[in-house]
Amino acid sequence: CPLPQVMGKMLRERLTPQLWRVLTTASQAAQKRGWHLYLVGGGVRDLLLADPTKIIELQDIDLVVDKAYPIPLKSLQADSIESLETSPQVPETGAGVELARELQQYYPNVRLQVHGRFQTAALLWHKDPELGSLWIDIATARTEFYPYPAANPEVEASSIRQDLYRRDFTINALAIRLTDPRSGTLLDFFGGWRDLEAKVIRVLHANSFIEDPTRIYRAVRFAVRLGFQIESQTESYIRYALESGIYTRSISGNHKTPALQTRLKSELKYILQENYWKPALQLLGDLGALRCIHPTLEFTEELWKQMRLVDRCLKRFQPPEESSEQAVIREPWQLLLEVLLAQLAPEHRAKVAENLQLPDESMTRLQRLDTRNQVIQSRLSQCKSPSQIVQLLQNEDLYTLILIAVQSPRVIRKLIWNYITKLSQIQSPLNGNDLKKMGYKPSPKFKQILDRLLAATLDGEITTRPTAEAFLAEKFPVN
């Protein structure tokens, strides 16, 4: 197809009228200041890829203001996203921030955040009656230079071409100008349109993965999600970056940057929570990219088997009915990540979990996993009744049980599945209130009686309320 150079009409027709209004307001605000405003990144990519007959619902939009304006680097210190309301001291030297402030006047419900250090503003609408949930990032055109590989990019103002050049892939380095003259022009300096047509993921320069190793995960994510191929030269840059050990040095060496680990975690999360996580993981494995997580982590047959078992288990636990008593897995991606980390030698797990800023409960679980696994595997095979199984497993959390199940031989695994899906749901026909009504006085013995009732129910001695009452009358007569 020829390059669609003028996209203005397409934007107007294919975006929702509400979003089009926001973009028009933003471009007018830029225009009156003599700045250019561009729609960039994934929004342009998705617009060009989408069905041309349909309205496209973009929820995450990146805008760039192009204004030759040197940001005084030394004055920018905040390294985290800070809300303007809570941090009035954040320096407001960025054009993006100024535009965002003006937009805020038209949309009082919007929340404004400023990423102080990089001078980007984010406007967030949450379940807005008009715009729904929408996130707009407004950055000031910039280049990035890296004081050392894999470090946080430092920022200076520059032109849109340089801004696009610092981006990850050609398909994400397209821009549509929203301001006059020539509003609606598609800027394609690096062959993004050609690569969209050829379904290819290609970096803009050889150092891309050295500068930002999380792009390895992004390349895989876009390739699998869009059904694209990683272009062969780009693949060799990935392999080179991995072999150079840059990643390992940057996550564990002197230049360890929390930002890099946070980004790696977000990319992992992004991949593991999508329905394409299996092919994505396979591709990461083929590229040897799991070693970004830890140098010893490999994609083995055993890991693949465990991941498939977890997948089956997740499908089973997925439809969480609000009222259902059954345990649900609220963060499936975290469980998958724990399965990955459980492949590491125990002495490495806690460190990696800490680097990836996993919650404390994950770290504890991974640390005690092998001990619990040994105990459970050996005792489970000796259990003679359902009540003994429940007694053994009832104090373990669901994630631990799944991690152990996928590492266990089939016979043990079946026993654990049976516990999770059936035995753990069984209740005795009589509860504490029933006992009180029957004249039992609350006392430490109460719990003992309830435990015996449950055990007898699990083992089939009690099936109904009358059999439970008969059981009580025989074993624990009321004094």
Cβ 360 to ligand CTP shortest distance, Å = 28
Cβ 59 to ligand CTP shortest distance, Å = 9
By the 10 Å C-beta count (0-12 exposed, 13-18 middle, 19+ buried), 325 is classed as exposed
Nearer of residues 279 and 432 to ligand CTP, judged by Cβ: 279
Number of H helices, E strands in the chain: 22, 12
Structure tokens at 301: 């047959």
φ and ψ at residue 398, rounded to 5 degrees = -60, -40
Cβ 137 to ligand CTP shortest distance, Å = 8
Between the alpha carbon of residue 161 and those of residues 26, 187, 188, 278, 309, the distances in Å are 20, 9, 9, 36, 47
Cβ 112 to ligand CTP shortest distance, Å = 18
Residue nearest to ligand CTP (CB): 42
Residue of 385, 344, 401, 386 lying closest to 367 (CA atoms): 344
> What value, to the nearest 5°, has the Cα angle with vertex 167 and ends 166 and 170?
120
Cβ 179 to ligand CTP shortest distance, Å = 20
Nearer of residues 60 and 354 to ligand CTP, judged by Cβ: 60
List, in order, residues 6 or more apart from 69 with CB less than 8 Å away. 93, 95, 140, 157
Binding site for ligand CTP (CB under 6 A): 41-42, 60, 62, 167-168, 172, 212, 214-215, 218
Cβ 33 to ligand CTP shortest distance, Å = 24
Cβ 47 to ligand CTP shortest distance, Å = 11
DSSP line for 114-168: EETTTTEEEEEEEEETTTEEEEEEEEE-EEEE-SSTTSPPEEEE--HHHHHHTSS
Structure tokens at 432: 């504490």
Cβ 209 to ligand CTP shortest distance, Å = 10
Nearer of residues 195 and 212 to ligand CTP, judged by Cβ: 212
Nearer of residues 167 and 452 to ligand CTP, judged by Cβ: 167
Nearer of residues 106 and 148 to ligand CTP, judged by Cβ: 148
Contact 140, 157 (CB under 8 A): yes
Contact 220, 299 (CB under 8 A): no
Nearer of residues 177 and 349 to ligand CTP, judged by Cβ: 177
Cβ 139 to ligand CTP shortest distance, Å = 9
Nearer of residues 214 and 457 to ligand CTP, judged by Cβ: 214
Scan for tokens 């009656």, then name that residue. 129
Q: Are strands 60-66 and 132-140 parallel, antiparallel or unpaired?
A: parallel
Scan for tokens 């999360």, then name that residue. 269
Nearer of residues 98 and 212 to ligand CTP, judged by Cβ: 212
Contact 273, 333 (CB under 8 A): yes
Contact 436, 450 (CB under 8 A): no
Structure tokens at 123: 């406007």
Nearer of residues 14 and 218 to ligand CTP, judged by Cβ: 218
